[in-house]
């Protein structure tokens, strides 16, 4: 299961969980390496073709529709909840 961490997207969490570098994933997904960092941190969203390439490379773990505006809002709320849970556990 891929777990979101603070300041990351589902793609960023996937890369962390599987120990993939941005360069390795870029080759596997056939996407520009320089964009992986932007996408993984949520600074930019991939276009439809790149989103589909990411979905294929992750075997559906990062669905193309996860990049939609509605999904991005849901991911942000989920990160906030997980952050609060970690703070409670640490206290």
For the record, the structure tokens of 18 come out as 């599987």
pLDDT grade, residue 85 (50/70/90)? very low
Find where tokens 């193309």 sit.
64
| pLDDT for 6 | 52
| pLDDT for 24 | 96
Side-chain half-sphere of 76: how many Cα atoms within 13 Å?
9
pTM above 0.85, yes or no: no
Q: Is the pLDDT of residue 51 over 80?
A: yes
DSSP H helices, the chain, are 10-18, 22-29, 33-41, 48-57, 69-90
Gap between the Cα atoms of 41 and 31, Å rounded: 16
């Amino acid at each position: 299961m891929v777990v979101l961490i603070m300041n990351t997207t589902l793609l960023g969490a996937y890369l962390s969980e599987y120990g993939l570098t941005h360069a390795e994933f870029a080759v596997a997904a056939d996407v520009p390496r320089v964009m992986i960092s932007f996408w993984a941190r949520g600074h930019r969203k991939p276009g439809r073709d790149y989103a589909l390439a990411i979905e294929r490379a992750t075997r559906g773990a990062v669905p193309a529709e996860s990049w939609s505006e509605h999904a991005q809002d849901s991911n942000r709320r989920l990160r906030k909840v997980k952050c609060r849970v970690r703070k409670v556990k640490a206290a």
